[in-house]
Amino acid sequence: MPEPEPEPEPGDHFTAVYQAHHRQVYAYAVTRAGRQLADEVVAETFLVAWRRLPALPRATPLPWLLAVARRIVYERYRAEERQQAVAAELRAWIADASVADVADGVAERAAVLTALARLSDDDRELLTLVAWHGLVPGQAARVLGCSTATYYVRLHRARRHLKNALAAAAEPERPRPAATLVPKESTR
């Protein structure tokens, strides 16, 4: 009977997880806390992973890592500061898109980013976990700490909010009538 393969050293396992998922955790942290704070969130996430290495799933560690990163963001930063940082980041992406891209998709990309910036933090997270971070719905549900069915319900609402934000952004602004100056009567 063949002997089972020995378990890899804890340091080797951690290094492999870090190398495989650092970029994804960083991207998630940028979308949740902005570039200024992303490095801190990532560092704390992998510190928790190191400390809780036996709890780190071997098969699919990314949802676990993103759930840890999410808790760190919620614990460390108030909702208003996070919202401002993400909105500033999205505005920067819009500005970059209008300068760097000359393709036809620039206007659409800018509209989507503007609409995303108008959404609540929770709606934006629901939409980006699958679209930007490549998770499947079950994994995204684990990150959010809810069932897959609950995730789908929330996703449906978030998509509706995004659709409404896109429609609002597409409506042309109506010109406001100029203020009419009424001459004051002279008191002579």
Residue 1: per-residue pLDDT: 55
What pLDDT, in 10s, does the model give residues 2-20? 565 556 676 788 999 999 9
Per DSSP, the residues of 19-79 read HHHHHHHHHHHHHHH-HHHHHHHHHHHHHHHHHTGGGS-SS-HHHHHHHHHHHHHHHHS-H
Residue 153: per-residue pLDDT: 93
Give CA separation, 20 vs 43, 48, 70, 74, 163, in Å: 15, 17, 19, 24, 34
Q: Would you place residue 178 in the very low, low, confident or very high pLDDT band (cuts 50, 70, 90)?
A: low
Per DSSP, the residues of 144-155 read HTS-HHHHHHHH
Q: Which residue has the higher pLDDT, 102 or 137?
A: 137
Q: What is the mean pLDDT of the chain?
A: 80
Q: How many Cα atoms occupy the beta-carbon half-sphere of 80 within 13 Å?
A: 0
Residue 119: per-residue pLDDT: 85
Q: Would you place residue 176 in the very low, low, confident or very high pLDDT band (cuts 50, 70, 90)?
A: low
pLDDT at 187 over 60: no
Backbone angles phi, psi at 113, to 5 degrees: -65, -40
Is there a contact between 66 and 143 (Cβ–Cβ < 8 Å)? Answer: yes
- Helix, coil or strand: residue 103: coil
What pLDDT, in 10s, does the model give residues 114-124? 888 888 888 88
Threshold 0.75, pTM exceeds:
no
